[in-house]
Structure 1
């Protein structure tokens, strides 16, 4: 499969993105919502693996409003300055509403690339909540949404994902780190209750022994065995819903 660097026109500007096409024509697409460290080879490799499964995969830059930056080193960005302050500013300055609006343009980009059928979303870290919000905002196209080590999925914030699941029509999978301060057990319980009340087909799975970031290869806490388990869950979800 080949990677194509594209520009996507949104309501607020132009987002760069990587588009990964499988070796054969496909009508199913996937949006991969990045973690906080930006577009980089580790995410490209994950998109390539999904493309090899037969999907057109889009990896958009969620921080495009900030102009040129990074990418950041996932191993040190939060432990060193000035990257720590820059990251926090960009995360706090990128709202869920922005990503929901952007996702309309992301879906259109996939459609223009030939993915005219069902779409799946997957996100890591901050991207996990984005993947769920997109499924809630665009239920007619998004048939599956997955979050891995996503944070604040059931927080007190008005835009917390668990407050918006009632419009989701597809399936949801949430893989949480064994111990994760950004998604503690009480949030997991609130999310599960919200999904059940909304009658959303879902699984919330706890990866015991895994730390926040375990599924992405350039994280300091990357775990090869846990990452393969995540791939099995993700590809099964997409094979069962997008094909």
Structure 2
């Protein structure tokens, strides 16, 4: 069951969607903060939000690009369009990790307003993967589990690279890596693993051999893998069940 809401942040009003299991109004359920991929909220993310909610969670999917007002709409074919790709890349560059870090306090408060109590889970895809890890480090007392799937630049040379915050993470971490992914090459995977080990983080980094960046999302055309996506769902739901109950 989806309901659209607006969230007041320090920089404006963020559009967002809440997903709940049917018949769950008034029930106390664990919460999950869902960080979108680079194509923004759309039918495909709604499908994923609904499925996660059906497993027993209150899910919040915020629009990380809210500062740009109206944009798109985009779908899995948009990267093949030069104009759309340029718009997407501009929004990615100009929506910094620091912005999402700051926004995430309002996002977590929005989950609380829905009746979520106790630590929550975070999951991110593509650009959202790094946001989930950054949020887990920034709000260590509020996020108990953080997952990234085909997350890009999780351990880059950038000053705001999520791996630099590993020492602040108290959540369990799961990272699902595409077999071939230019945004997260093997050297970054090794760097992330070392940072998480050194930081004492309970973590798993799993390589999905044969999968491409974006394999989990159903509107990504030939990149999408039904088999690989179902494997991701199994891992994610087990991870949250073990950690959040």
TM-score range, shorter chain: over 0.9
Mapped contact 1:9–1:105 kept (Cα < 8 A): yes
Q: Would you say how many aligned residue pairs link Structure 1 and Structure 2? A: 241
Q: Is the 8 A contact 1:27 1:117 kept in 2?
A: no
The equivalent of 1:33 in structure 2 is 35
Match runs of 1:195-206 below 5 Å: 195-206=196-207
| Alignment correspondent of 1:20 | 19
Question: Equivalent residue for 2:166?
Answer: 165
* Structure 2 Cα separation of the partners of residues 125 and 17 of structure 1: 18
Unpaired runs of at least 5, structure 2: none
Secondary structure of 1:176's counterpart equals strand
Q: Name segments (4+ residues, structure 1) moved above 6 Å.
A: none
RMSD of aligned residue pairs (Cα, Å): 0.8
**Structure 2 counterpart SS, 1:78:** helix
Give the conservation status (yes or no) of the 8 Å contact 1:26–1:54: no
8 Å Cα contact 1:7/1:16 also seen in 2: yes
Q: CA deviation at 1:26?
A: 2.8
**2: CA distance, partners of 1:71 / 1:118:** 33
Gaps of 5+ in 1: none
The match for 2:6 is: 7
Q: Equivalent residue for 2:215? A: 214
Secondary structure at 2:15 match in 1: strand
- 1:80 maps to which residue? 81
Distance, in Å, in 1 between the alignment partners of 2:182 and 2:33 is: 26
Partners of 1:180 and 1:192 lie apart in 2 by 17
> How many Å separate the matches in 2 of 1:64 and 1:73?
17
Contact residue 26 and residue 55 of structure 1 kept, 8 A = no
Match of 2:69 among 60, 67, 74: 67
Q: Distance in 1 between matches of 2:28 and 2:238?
A: 17
Aligned with 2:129: secondary structure?
Answer: helix
Q: What is the Cα deviation at residue 74 of structure 1? A: 1.6
How far did residue 68 of structure 1 move?
Answer: 0.3
